Amino acid sequence: MAEEKVTTEKQAEVAAVEEKTAVIEEAKKKVKKAKRQIAKGRATVKCTYNNTLVSIADANGAVLAWASAGMMGFKGAKKSTPYAATQVVASVSEKVKKYGLQELEVFVKGVGSGREASIRALSNNGFDLLLIKDITPIPHNGCRSKKPRRV
């Protein structure tokens, strides 16, 4: 009789523990982390002679998504083409869709051939471009030049 009481008490404890874990699991399933909604952000486009990089950040500067032509699978000289720039922008805009981003300030850096193509692709992907600014670094006299050749 004492053994039966012990087994029924253990079974009752096991059942209570299982019930608690089931309740906790249901609570975890219901709680879902919501993505923050961002209305305005900034896109930074870096076009070099060899590659194109595009990153989109929120107003504070926290990067939401980025991509480069090399990341998209382009190799060698094809990375710096305007077509590669449009593909990079399409990839980044797909990643940013979940944040609900609509307005962008665009900052372009570099002298590569993907500059205009990336800006055009940003506007074609449904973003309102509030500002387009060129932030290419320009030297104010720069490094000392090489000595002239004597021929």
CATH architecture of the domain with residue range 40-134: 2-Layer Sandwich (3.30)
Write down the pLDDT at residue 14: 73
- Angle of CA points 96, 97, 101, to nearest 5°: 75
What is the average pLDDT score of the chain? 89
pTM of the model: 0.73
Q: What is the pLDDT of residues 50-83, one digit of tens each?
A: 999 999 999 999 999 999 999 999 999 999 999 9
Q: Tell me which long-range contacts 136-145 makes (C-beta under 8 A, separation of at least 24).
A: 136/108, 136/109, 136/110, 136/111, 137/109
d(CA 106, CA 102): 13
Among 29-33, 39-43, 48-52, whose mean pLDDT is lowest? Answer: 29-33
Task: Give residue-wise pLDDT tens across range 118-128.
Answer: 999 999 999 99
Query: DSSP labels for 34-80?
Result: PPPP-SEEEEEEEE-SS-EEEEEEETT--EEEEEETTTTT--GGGGG
